[in-house]
Structure 1
Amino acid sequence: MTPDDLPRSPTGRVPRWVVDETANRRVPPHAWAPAPSTPPPGARPRRPLGQRILTVVSLALLGWVVVTGPLPALLRSADLPWLDGVVAGRVPAPAPDVVALADDMHLTAHGRDLLYRAQPELLDATAFAGRCDRPDTTAAEGGAVGCYVGPRGADLRHADGEIVVYRPADARLHGFVVTTAAHELLHAAWDDLAVAERTEVTPLLEAVVAGLDPDDPLHEQLTGSVGPYPESRPTELFAYVGTQVWRPGGLGPRVEELYARYVADREALVAVHTGFRGMLDAVSAEVTAAQGALDARGLTQVLDQKRYDADVAALASYRAALEQQETQIAAMAPRERDRLLLSWTWRDGTVLPSSPAEQTLARARELLARDEAELAARAETLAATAAEIAAEEARVAALRADADALWAQLDPAG
């Protein structure tokens, strides 16, 4: 509950910084990561109450009208909602990639305002290193791919907070960047909500998360992001649910009403998240399927080779037996050889009935030639199959390397 004796804005709202400072509480910045190893948020300083009130009063007495420079940001830090529309010239025009990112996040005009005021930086792994592990955040504990640091009082460059996002080089991970940036933007949106609105929506978000499948990775992500800072759970709920959870018809009128201030099409935003996760799953499934088929084909090749080797050895023994018979019969006297009858059962079960020896041996020679030709054809087939398997092994290895590289890019420290 908000004490009745706290200073209030002209609209009757109690600014968040007043509640925070009255409770003598440090409000942490927020870092997002797609894995349960997401670090807990760190602390965020605020200006003393007297300085904030003095700033607003002094400006009123002087009658300044501000449309450029840092002073509007100072006014906003006083948590006065009637100043929300004073944004012209407050920050440099956003870079084209940030504008495109806002498009892909499906932001409203107000959501874009929050994003642009935070002057988001989209950084590669080298430039991102260390950006989310400053002394005022605990993102250095590992896993962060983006962070939001709320307004930092005297630092006029960041009087509206700042957003830093890791952007992998692989274009297939653009959805990952969109989800990360949207997550951090919703932390800024949480700061933008009135205290009463945060109090109202928190149990509604808890109910949404409680209704998820226990195996949904969001549970571990949420736990990892909150870490030992339970006071961060509401803003993490708002960011995770807003970017990753959708049900037909939405999550309830009040929840969707608050999100709709910042995101014009939240179903489409969540689809970005499910889309890039689906892409990663498809890449992994392709590698798994290709490896499984390769393993099956390799096993067949091994068995075929073993049968071939056994047949070669068996035919060699029959060839040796045939040659031995031919040698023995050739050594006989012609009269004795003419009277000799010979029968034989060939290796495939073919019965050569009792016939003159030379006739039986001639028939055996035909069977030997037949089997040698068949084995030669099998040898060619085995060689061709071996070459195909080698090529497939190279293709599967390339698929695996690509998948590994894709997954590795999810971690800027990897």
Structure 2
Amino acid sequence: MAGTVGKRVAQGVAVALVVAVAAGGLIAYTYRGEIRDHFLASSFEPTQRVNQIRDEIELSATGDRVFLASQPTIGGRDEFNRWCAGVDHTEEGHVLGCFAERRIRLFEVTDQRLTGVVETTAAHELLHAAWSRMSQEERAELADTLVAEYDARAATDAEFSQRMSVYESLSRSAFANELHSVFGTEVRDLSPELEQHYAKWFEDRSVIVDWYDGYHGVFVELKAEAERLSAELEELRSDIEDRSATYDVAVQQFNADAAEFRERNERYEFSGNKQLFDTLRGELLARQEGLDAVRQEIQAETDRFNALREELVKLNDVSVELNDVLDSTFTPPSSPVEQA
């Protein structure tokens, strides 16, 4: 009897062990992505710059794990173009980061006028990494939410619609993927459903949008100032042309009247009538002074026009310079070789 009882107990333990192993395998399979990310993140040694970005974009525990598991690296043009060689560069705008081969690659921008570019790009690529970790069902459900949000916003926000037009050739799923990253990093006010979603990755998403607004605002201000100057130049140009045309007609009439006065004087028409001579001569001199004053005013307007045009040229130079800074494919011109 004792042997029988012992055998039964042993069988019960075996069954329990099988159930435990099966349950453990199910848990491991269900959370295999998180487990993989945990080990990748734990084994990755981030640089000081990467750690700085982690602090600045205020990631949640989940966001930080995915970010580190994506082994983010930051480099200059040569490195970045090698890392992201497979990324499509044909679309408008600049390629500042990529998520390729499950790794986040970032283009380093050190210009202080564009502080926030790398931070925003890091968050953008993190959300691509997050998207890649979702199931097909999760992506499809989230895509519906994202596209609905986009359709509602695009109906009243032409600027945002233009922003997303660079992705218009993508499939619906790929477009939703880009929306996921753009909404999360560039748009301040979103639906509660999306805000709750992004809270999985960021402690405070508004920090990311602040970074974006900071550097994006530089270009917005440049554009606004350029448009203001252009409008002022156009108005000034039109005024100068109108006043110049009127001035030219007045000068021609003055020259004709002055010539006529000289001819009359040469014919001695004013002999014995000094008062008429003085009156006509005074009128001509007054007209001449008036015309000279108008000429000086037109010259002053012309000088202002040239100064404003030079200001606009400088603004354009700054815009070109900043765009070159952001252009990861840009090759700076080599310095001329000095002749001995």
**Structure 1-normalised TM-score?**
0.62
**Stretches (4+) displaced over 6 A:** none
Query: Is 1:129 matched up with 2:129?
Result: no
Structure showing the higher helix proportion among its residues: 2
Identity value in percent: 22
Which residue number corresponds to residue 394 of structure 1?
310
SS at match of 2:200: coil
Q: Aligned match of 1:186 in 98, 107, 127?
A: 127
- Encode CA deviations 1:238-287: one digit per residue, 9 max, x unaligned: 3233223443xx5334x434422321112332343345444323211210
Q: Which amino acid aligns with 2:47?
A: P
Offset, 1:202: 4.3
User: Residues 315 and 198 from structure 1, CA distance in 2 versus in 1: closer, same or farther, beyond 3 angstroms?
Assistant: closer
User: Residues 308 and 140 from structure 1, CA distance in 2 versus in 1: closer, same or farther, beyond 3 angstroms?
Assistant: closer
Q: Which amino acid aligns with 2:205?
A: R
SS at match of 2:329: coil
CA distance in 2, matches of 1:80, 1:391: 61
CA distance in 2, matches of 1:265, 1:309: 66
CA distance in 2, matches of 1:12, 1:120: 26
Which residue number corresponds to residue 376 of structure 1?
292
Which residue number corresponds to residue 251 of structure 1?
191
Which residue number corresponds to residue 139 of structure 1?
88
User: Residues 389 and 198 from structure 1, CA distance in 2 versus in 1: closer, same or farther, beyond 3 angstroms?
Assistant: closer
Q: Which amino acid aligns with 1:212?
A: R
Query: Is 1:242 matched up with 2:195?
Result: no
Offset, 1:80: 4.7
Which residue number corresponds to residue 16 of structure 2?
none
User: Given that residues 125 and 166 in structure 1 are in contact (C-alpha distance below 8 angstroms), is that contact kept between their aligned partners in structure 2?
Assistant: yes
Q: Aligned match of 1:79 in 33, 39, 43?
A: 33
Q: Which amino acid aligns with 1:91?
A: F
Which residue number corresponds to residue 289 of structure 1?
228
Offset, 1:374: 2.5
SS at match of 1:264: coil
Query: What 5-or-longer segments of structure 1 have no aligned partner?
Result: 1-6, 16-77, 151-160, 339-356
CA distance in 1, matches of 2:26, 2:293: 93
CA distance in 2, matches of 1:148, 1:119: 10
Which residue number corresponds to residue 27 of structure 2?
11
Offset, 1:323: 1.6
Which residue number corresponds to residue 218 of structure 2?
279
User: Given that residues 94 and 116 in structure 1 are in contact (C-alpha distance below 8 angstroms), is that contact kept between their aligned partners in structure 2?
Assistant: no
What is the aligned-residue RMSD (CA, Å)? 3.4
Q: Which amino acid aligns with 2:33?
A: D
SS at match of 2:99: strand
Which residue number corresponds to residue 325 of structure 1?
264
Deviates more, 1:214-223 or 1:263-272: 214-223
CA distance in 1, matches of 2:222, 2:200: 35
- Encode CA deviations 1:386-407: one digit per residue, 9 max, x unaligned: 2232222211111122223334
Query: What 5-or-longer segments of structure 2 have no aligned partner?
Result: 1-22, 331-340
CA distance in 1, matches of 2:25, 2:67: 24
Equivalence map 1:202-217=2 (5 Å): 202-214=143-155, 215=158, 216-217=161-162
Offset, 1:165: 1.8
Query: Is 1:220 matched up with 2:165?
Result: yes
User: Given that residues 123 and 166 in structure 1 are in contact (C-alpha distance below 8 angstroms), is that contact kept between their aligned partners in structure 2?
Assistant: yes
User: Given that residues 123 and 165 in structure 1 are in contact (C-alpha distance below 8 angstroms), is that contact kept between their aligned partners in structure 2?
Assistant: yes
User: Given that residues 97 and 105 in structure 2 are in contact (C-alpha distance below 8 angstroms), is that contact kept between their aligned partners in structure 1?
Assistant: yes
SS at match of 2:27: coil
CA distance in 2, matches of 1:384, 1:276: 37
SS at match of 2:304: helix
Offset, 1:95: 1.8
Which residue number corresponds to residue 63 of structure 2?
111
CA distance in 1, matches of 2:294, 2:147: 66
Aligned length: 302
User: Given that residues 222 and 237 in structure 1 are in contact (C-alpha distance below 8 angstroms), is that contact kept between their aligned partners in structure 2?
Assistant: no
CA distance in 2, matches of 1:106, 1:274: 17
- Encode CA deviations 1:9-58: one digit per residue, 9 max, x unaligned: 5426546xxxxxxxxxxxxxxxxxxxxxxxxxxxxxxxxxxxxxxxxxxx
User: Residues 9 and 311 from structure 1, CA distance in 2 versus in 1: closer, same or farther, beyond 3 angstroms?
Assistant: farther
CA distance in 1, matches of 2:232, 2:24: 68
User: Residues 319 and 222 from structure 1, CA distance in 2 versus in 1: closer, same or farther, beyond 3 angstroms?
Assistant: closer
